Amino acid sequence: MSINVGEAIPSGDLQENSPKTRHDPASIFSSGRHILFGVPGAFTPGCTMTHLPGYVSGYEDIIAKGVSSINCIAVNDAFVMGAWGTAGGADGKVRMLADPAGEYVTALGLDVQAAALGGKRSKRFSMLIEDGKVSVLNLEPDGFGLSCSLSNTLLEQL
């Protein structure tokens, strides 16, 4: 069962740039408005050519709507997520959060088996979190598509 609108973001252990830099989503999203979007994998075609670039190029418009931070999560290690963020121009705009074993996306109920990508991955989604609770959730119907979870959809919902 996936997390629903109105529910609190659970605690967890995510990494940023290095396994030593850890964040608890329940803490970092506890106050203010934050975007969290999930992708099946760093450096994969749809994620690299469409999903991440939309949030990077839309950064100014999203922040202008009162959003405190934009965050990307994927079941990849912290080093891969950091390199992907740098390659995609996300530095200073989109925080790249690693969920190496997929434990956090499982806690959200947003995990999916993707044999082509090696096993457990994140479904493709976007959400707005306000003061620690999900206020908008856009989940791709098949878990992988590129429609409702894109930045332009979420921008219209802000």
Buried b (16+ CB within 10 A) or exposed e, 10-40: eebebbbbeeeeebebeebbeeebbbbbbbb
> How big is the chain by its Cα radius of gyration, in Å?
14
Which helix H or strand E contains 143, and what residues bound it? Answer: none
Give dist(CA 147, CA 125) in Å, integer. 10
124, 111 in Cβ contact below 8 A?
no
Strands 94-98 and 69-74: parallel
Q: Is 47 a known active-site residue?
A: yes
The one catalytic residue in 3, 9, 14, 47 is 47
Separation between Cα atoms, residue 4 and residue 139, nearest integer Å: 11
**Catalytic annotation, residues:** 47
